[in-house]
């Protein structure tokens, strides 16, 4: 296998490869761009016009997605997977990956869309570097652009595998992409309704990619991911890479859609989230439930029918989101 196919090994060791470009027997070119970043080019005659960005390890302890990308790269380097798409593989936070930590000082996935410019430190610099990798990769005109940013959650979930679909004013969410997500094993999609500061928000809003944050189960250490079943996602990614996706029915049966009702923002150290510490994502909340309190007697009370909570985390820094209140969405509003 080509040395560049071992991008994870290089990243974990903190090594720069001696050869920056290698070509497989089948003519696929692999080019090392920097730490945790590898670009794959199919032979020109096989290129189908798809640019696919696959990222993982934005949070360093989310190892199942990292292992999945590692397997895909091995398959390409050995000639077992024959790409027709251009692919950019990114391991987001190498320092945190090496330490097995979610992040070192700052949550990298809260530093995009200009936020890294307002901060300092190695993770702010890394967010800026990731933006530049993506901007350069998606700079070729008249090509389709798709970005999957793969994660696992810090808590359990009543819906284990789900996607977050970013928002941009004037742009409709795509039914075709939702069908693709369902085929990849996603059980639910959260349709976001405001701009955000995550990696996929950046590629969706700024680079016109179809972009999705995929939550794929619970975070575990390397080698302990047997309970995280990524077979359907792995199969679909191989099909996208090789350009042989089967036709899928256009209906969305079996895929639950949600929209954001409100974000719960932590404004001060007085913030209190009135939920059990071990509450799972997508847990239902009854109307009238006192969800959170903060300074100046500010209170979040559940008013919505069918409300659920995702990503509750009272330990975030002041000014950041401490949870999202979501409600069922209407698929008739899709593009």
| Rounded Cα–Cα distance for residues 54 and 89 (Å) | 5
Active site residue 215: yes
Three-state SS at 224 = coil
Phi-psi bin for 277: left (phi > 0), alpha (psi -120 to 50), beta?
alpha
Question: Cβ distance 51 to 145 under 8 Å?
Answer: yes
Among the listed residues 62, 177, 215, 280, the single catalytic one is 215
Q: Which residues contact 70 (CB under 8 A, 6 or more apart)?
A: 7, 8
Contact (CB, 8 A) for 106 and 123: yes
Q: How far lies 147's CA from each of 115, 164, 208, 219, 323, in Å? A: 20, 12, 10, 21, 24
Which of 149, 144, 125, 119 shows the shortest CA–CA distance to 47?
144
HSE-up of residue 66 (Cα within 13 Å, Cβ side): 30
136 torsion bin: left (phi>0), alpha (psi -120 to 50), beta (else) = alpha
Catalytic positions, written as ranges: 215
């Amino acid at each position: 296998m080509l040395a560049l196919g071992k991008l994870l090994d290089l990243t974990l060791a903190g090594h720069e490869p001696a050869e920056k470009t290698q070509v497989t027997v089948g003519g696929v070119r692999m080019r090392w761009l920097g730490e945790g970043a590898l670009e794959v080019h199919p032979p020109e005659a096989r290129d189908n016009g798809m640019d696919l960005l696959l990222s993982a390890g934005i949070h360093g302890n989310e190892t199942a997605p990292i292992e999945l990308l590692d397997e895909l790269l091995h398959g390409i380097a050995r000639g077992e997977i024959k790409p027709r798409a251009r692919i950019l593989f990114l391991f987001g936070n190498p320092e945190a990956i090496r330490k097995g930590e979610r992040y070192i000082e700052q949550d990298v996935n809260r530093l995009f869309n200009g936020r890294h410019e307002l901060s300092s430190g190695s993770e702010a610099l890394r967010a800026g570097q990731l933006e530049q990798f993506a901007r350069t990769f998606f700079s070729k005109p008249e090509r389709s652009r798709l970005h999957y940013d793969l994660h696992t959650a810090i808590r359990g979930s009543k819906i284990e595998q789900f996607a977050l679909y970013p928002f941009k004013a004037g742009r409709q969410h795509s039914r075709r992409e939702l069908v693709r997500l369902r085929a990849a094993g996603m059980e639910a999609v959260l349709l976001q309704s405001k701009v955000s500061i995550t990696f996929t928000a950046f590629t969706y809003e700024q680079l016109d990619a179809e972009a999705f944050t995929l939550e794929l189960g619970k975070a575990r250490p390397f080698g302990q991911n047997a309970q995280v079943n990524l077979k359907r996602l792995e199969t679909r990614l191989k099909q996208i890479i090789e350009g042989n996706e089967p036709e899928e029915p256009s209906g969305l049966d079996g895929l639950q859609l949600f929209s954001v009702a409100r974000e719960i923002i932590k404004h001060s150290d007085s913030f209190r989230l009135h939920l059990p510490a071990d509450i799972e994502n997508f847990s239902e909340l009854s109307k009238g439930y006192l969800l959170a309190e903060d300074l100046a007697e500010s209170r979040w009370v559940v008013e919505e029918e069918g409300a659920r909570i995702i990503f509750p985390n009272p330990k975030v820094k002041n000014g950041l989101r401490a949870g999202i209140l979501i409600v069922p969405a209407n698929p008739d509003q899709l593009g």
